[in-house]
């Protein structure tokens, strides 16, 4: 079992390694007519969509993209240390809000949404029908660490609100750093079930989803934020808008099993002095 303390230590080590790696990125243009690669801190849960969208964007614009994948909480910790990069794409909008409050993000664009479900193997051999079934004796259950990954954080918040977290947390057999590792444990039969995103189930062969009313109420928006530390704010904003456009990056997210974003309420007009709008035509 990976403890929360171990995940925290690994996050610090990862952050230090990331700083070293970013320092070694080439400063010269990566492609003809473009600048250095745009660095995107992206949740592992969104990797299939970003990989496809990045290929499409580079083919269209000639701009290279350098993804940095990890758990949403771990990525946010890394960002605080590294203070380098262009976009932040976590699996839950609350991390964008935390990044905004910390002064790390200037502009945000809605991209998609995901909903927590119970992940089981195809055929549901243990007959799991609802969240309460996971508390049965003998079942092996996995969850991504709430301090490192969005799915764990969301599940903990939902179950604290319902009063079920103490009993549920005692039934967790293993805490994993990311949702993909939980899904892989289910696929391999290492555990009988785990809480994952609905989109994650669609991306892993051999997995099936079991909906639960409490979890269904935990649908979370996915958004991408332009980092204040970006040295290419106009290019970063252009990529963010591409990822959020239904006829562009939105197609990659839909193909990978993510639901479209909910309609966004209108925002007040932003000043042209906004860091992410420097160099962007009105």
Tens digits of per-residue pLDDT, 5-16? Answer: 444 344 433 443
Contacts with 232 (C-beta within 8 Å, 6 or more apart), sequence order: 35, 36, 38, 86
Cβ count near 84 (within 10 Å): 18
Task: Clarify whether residues 109 and 120 are in a common domain.
Answer: no
Name beta bridge partners: 144: 176
Mean pLDDT score, 151-176: 96
Supply φ then ψ for residue 101, to 5 degrees.
Answer: -65, -30
Task: State how far Cα 19 lies from the chain centre.
Answer: 20
Mean pLDDT score, 4-31: 39
- Which pLDDT value is given to residue 232? 96
- Which pLDDT value is given to residue 96? 96
Domain count, the chain: 2
Task: Clarify whether residues 225 and 259 are in a common domain.
Answer: yes
Cβ count near 277 (within 10 Å): 18
- Which pLDDT value is given to residue 262? 77
Task: Clarify whether residues 11 and 96 are in a common domain.
Answer: yes
DSSP state of 25: S
Longest dimension (CA), the chain: 61
- The pLDDT > 90 percentage for the chain reads 79
Whether the predicted model's global pTM rises above the 0.85 cut: no
Mean pLDDT score, 204-213: 97
Of 52, 33, 28, the closest CA to residue 255 belongs to 52
pLDDT band at 34 (very low <50, low <70, confident <90, very high): low
- Which pLDDT value is given to residue 265? 56
Task: Clarify whether residues 60 and 159 are in a common domain.
Answer: no
Task: Clarify whether residues 16 and 85 are in a common domain.
Answer: yes
pLDDT, mean over the chain: 86
Higher pLDDT, 137 or 122: 122
pLDDT band at 81 (very low <50, low <70, confident <90, very high): very high
Task: Clarify whether residues 11 and 105 are in a common domain.
Answer: yes
Task: Clarify whether residues 99 and 229 are in a common domain.
Answer: yes
Element (H, E) at 96: helix 93-101
Task: State how far Cα 267 lies from the chain centre.
Answer: 24
Contacts with 25 (C-beta within 8 Å, 6 or more apart), sequence order: 36, 37, 39, 66
Higher pLDDT, 263 or 189: 189
Classify burial at 267, counting beta carbons within 10 Å of its beta carbon; exposed 0-12, middle 13-18, buried 19 or more: exposed
DSSP state of 85: -
Cβ count near 132 (within 10 Å): 13
- Which pLDDT value is given to residue 16? 39
CATH number at residue 166: 3.40.190.10
State how far the Cα of 101 lies from the Cα of 222, in Å rounded to an integer: 17
- Which pLDDT value is given to residue 35? 76
Task: State how far Cα 14 lies from the chain centre.
Answer: 17
- The pLDDT > 70 percentage for the chain reads 81
Mean pLDDT score, 142-157: 97
Q: Which domain holds residue 195?
A: 116-216
Higher pLDDT, 40 or 15: 40
Task: Clarify whether residues 107 and 120 are in a common domain.
Answer: no
Mean pLDDT score, 144-169: 96
- Which pLDDT value is given to residue 47? 97
Number of H helices, E strands in the chain: 11, 10
Instruction: Say if residue 27's pLDDT is above 50.
Output: no
- Which pLDDT value is given to residue 86? 98
């Amino acid at each position: 079992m990976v403890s929360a303390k171990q995940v925290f230590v690994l996050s610090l080590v990862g952050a230090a390694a990331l700083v070293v790696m970013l320092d070694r990125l080439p400063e010269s243009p990566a492609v003809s007519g473009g600048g250095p690669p745009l660095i995107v801190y992206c949740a592992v849960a969104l990797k299939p969509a970003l990989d496809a969208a990045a290929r499409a964007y580079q083919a269209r614009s000639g701009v290279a993209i350098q993804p940095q994948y990890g758990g949403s909480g771990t990525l946010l910790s890394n960002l605080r240390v590294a203070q380098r990069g262009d976009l932040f794409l976590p699996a839950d909008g609350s991390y964008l809000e935390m990044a905004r409050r910390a002064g790390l993000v200037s502009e945000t664009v809605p991209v998609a949404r995901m909903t927590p479900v119970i992940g089981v193997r195809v055929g549901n051999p243990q007959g799991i029908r609802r969240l309460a079934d996971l508390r049965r004796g003998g079942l092996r259950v996995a969850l991504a660490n709430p301090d490192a990954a969005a799915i764990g954080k969301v599940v903990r918040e939902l179950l604290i609100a319902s009063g079920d977290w103490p009993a549920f947390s005692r039934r967790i057999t293993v805490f994993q750093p990311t949702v993909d590792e939980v899904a892989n444990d289910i696929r391999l039969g290492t555990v009988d079930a785990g809480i994952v995103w609905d989109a994650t189930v669609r991306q892993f062969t051999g997995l099936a989803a079991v909906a639960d009313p409490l979890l269904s109420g935990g649908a979370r928006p996915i958004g991408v934020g332009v980092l204040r530390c970006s040295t290419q704010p106009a290019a970063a904003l252009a990529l963010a808008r591409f990822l959020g456009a239904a006829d562009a990056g939105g197609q990659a997210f839909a193909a990978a099993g993510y639901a479209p974003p909910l309609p966004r309420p209108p925002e007040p007009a932003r000043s042209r002095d906004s860091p992410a709008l420097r160099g962007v035509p009105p």
